[in-house]
Structure 1
């Protein structure tokens, strides 16, 4: 596959580039060479740079497209051969135009893909970092064979849970069973002991 990129330029620059491409090589070499020179250079960040045509300089930015664009080539107008996947675009703008916000271009290349990121794709969910951490911990415990309830009691035991259990058992032992009015012990509905 070939290396390709999309170069988006203002209409005035597009006319000059088209005129340069339509001229024959002999005609362009005999004319002013400075007018026919094209240059593109980027700064150290790799996202912003300068596009030069002749003696004019235009600011340029490398932007990520919201979708991948496939590029095809044909030799006989019936068979298409895929030549590249394009995911970035170099956007040249006029000096007074504001720079694009961020590194991702929010529109596609064609009118139906206008505002593609918002209209065509699902919103990224707002995740609570604490919730994600807790769910991750629970999943690890489940994979290790520890149920979540066992884990909670184990966690409670490490934080003074043994003292609480001992105090609760002592309180139950100190409570004396009061005899019922007929002289028998009171029983609950869940008490399945049988009288002899």
Structure 2
């Protein structure tokens, strides 16, 4: 696995970087530097004498990076979950740490359009259920149990038990004896000539 990062810059900064990385540019022409403050989320991007504010943003999903060594097979080289965003000096700082969009146009507004919404859960209810589960696992009783539900369950079990006890036993109906000799009394006996094959 390699160490990789995504650097997103405005068009003016992209032109400066492109000119710095071009073959015609002198090595001592401009310097490039990136430094972060103590919070680890904001910093400064320096290219030559120009300073730009940068912010470390979380991507809405993990981006996998691949490389092809033989132009046919792709090899996964990294998983990238954050992006360094360079802004113009006059731009305001973002108020959230998670970037709203992905890296490509299909992932625009990805959190809202493509991901399942987080359930609206009451934190107090979650803590109460967690405490009840811990009590059940340790063998203690549940503090928030509703007695009506327990009585109803007992009544239901009792009704089922009494219902199985009160069911009268119904004797099986007697089947009349069938006389084999009288079953074909109305039909004449067939001879061997009747069993001949008429398919010809």
> Same fold, TM exceeding 0.5?
yes
Aligned to 1:156: none
Matches within 5 A, 1:1-196: 1-23=1-23, 27-29=25-27, 33=28, 35-146=29-140, 148=142
Q: For residues 106 and 150 of structure 1, what CA distance do their matches in structure 2 show?
A: 41
Equivalent position SS for 2:70: coil
List runs of 5+ in structure 1 lacking aligned partners: 154-196
Q: For residues 118 and 105 of structure 2, what CA distance do their matches in structure 1 show?
A: 24
Q: For residues 56 and 13 of structure 1, what CA distance do their matches in structure 2 show?
A: 9
Q: For residues 8 and 31 of structure 2, what CA distance do their matches in structure 1 show?
A: 18
List runs of 5+ in structure 2 lacking aligned partners: 148-200
Q: For residues 122 and 53 of structure 2, what CA distance do their matches in structure 1 show?
A: 39
Instruction: After TM superposition, give the deviation of residue 122 of structure 1 in Å.
Output: 1.9
Corresponding residue pairs, total? 147
1:125–1:151 distance in 2 versus 1, CA, 3 Å: closer
Instruction: After TM superposition, give the deviation of residue 22 of structure 1 in Å.
Output: 2.2
Deviation digits for residues 124-161 of structure 1 (CA, Å, limit 9, x no counterpart): 223222212221232223324456489778xxxxxxxx
Q: For residues 144 and 43 of structure 2, what CA distance do their matches in structure 1 show?
A: 59
1:137–1:56 distance in 2 versus 1, CA, 3 Å: same
Q: TM-score, normalised by structure 2?
A: 0.66
The answer as to whether partners of 2:42 and 2:56 remain within 8 angstroms in 1 is yes
Equivalent position SS for 2:46: strand
Q: Which has the larger radius of gyration?
A: 2
**RMSD of aligned C-alpha atoms?**
2.2
Equivalent position SS for 2:63: strand
Q: For residues 100 and 121 of structure 2, what CA distance do their matches in structure 1 show?
A: 23
